[in-house]
Amino acid sequence: MLHVADLSVAYGAISALAGISFTIESGAIVTLIGGNGAGKTTTLRTLSGLLRPSTGKITFLGEEITATQPHQIVARGLSHVPEGRMIFANLTVEENLAMGAYLQTDATLNAKNRAYVFSIFPRLQERLQQTAGTLSGGEQQMLAIGRALMSNPKFLMLDEPSLGIAPRLITTIFEKIVEINRERGITILLVEQNAHLALEVSRYAYVLETGRIVMQGPSHQLRHDPLLKATYLGG
């Protein structure tokens, strides 16, 4: 579904990604794990068109999107929930969801997607007219995911969905991520500092260090890898 070949990205003279390549199959949950500065967020921002690579090629659903504009990438079915959620804090929950559907012209489809968002995140329906900036961290993350679902994605990228969320809500968020994948068949690329959680819900994992993929494999196998356990899983 998504193929990345020899992708390099630099911030001025600083290399953020150094020729990474990976493939994500349709219907999978795949995770990128690694420490701060490993290149995880840079990878997602490049895939969504917010950054331009210096080398490499990105192919989505058989078409190259390396130089495609972000709104065109969303229209093709690839949506990005950024780190820190980046909701429209001064707009209501309802208005945020409407922004997610900005490129969708099918009113019936929009209504269906909205109903689905409310079915998995009923709290959003309860707070429909509430200003988004006054929501809790967990509720804002629900809204960020719901806004992305309103674009009717085939592929969803989630950057640090557990960041800044109360522990009691983290489990709920990850249960919903798995549910979205299972019920809607949406392929998910997950970036998550909590490697335990990421490996628990994903099928396959890539490990990034300083802009390079240093390890990869089925998640259930990497959870038991001695080096990975020592580096990212606390023992």
Does 206 score more than 90 pLDDT? yes
The average pLDDT across 90-118 equals 90
CATH code given to domain 2-83+153-232: 3.40.50.300
pLDDT, tens digit, for every residue of 40-79? Answer: 999 999 999 999 999 999 999 999 999 999 999 999 999 9
The average pLDDT across 208-212 equals 91
The average pLDDT across 113-137 equals 91
The average pLDDT across 116-136 equals 92
pLDDT, tens digit, for every residue of 139-183? Answer: 898 899 999 999 999 999 999 888 888 888 888 888 999 999 999
Reading the block at residue 101, the tokens are 């559907």
Between 81-85, 193-197, 230-234, the lowest mean confidence (pLDDT) is in: 230-234
Per-residue pLDDT band at 234 (split at 50, 70, 90): low
Indicate the burial class of 64 (C-beta count within 10 angstroms; 0-12, 13-18, 19 or more). exposed
pLDDT, tens digit, for every residue of 1-20? Answer: 899 999 999 988 889 999 99
Helix axes 93-100, 137-149, angle to 10 degrees: 30
- Dihedral-angle region of residue 203 (phi above 0 means left; psi in -120 to 50 means alpha; beta otherwise): alpha
| % of residues, the chain, pLDDT over 90 | 62
Contact 197, 204 (CB under 8 A): no
H or E, element range at 64? strand 63-64
Residue 41's alpha-carbon distances to 16, 36, 97, 208, in angstroms, are: 10, 9, 23, 11
Contact 76, 63 (CB under 8 A): yes
Domain boundaries, the chain: 2-83+153-232
Does 233 score more than 70 pLDDT? no
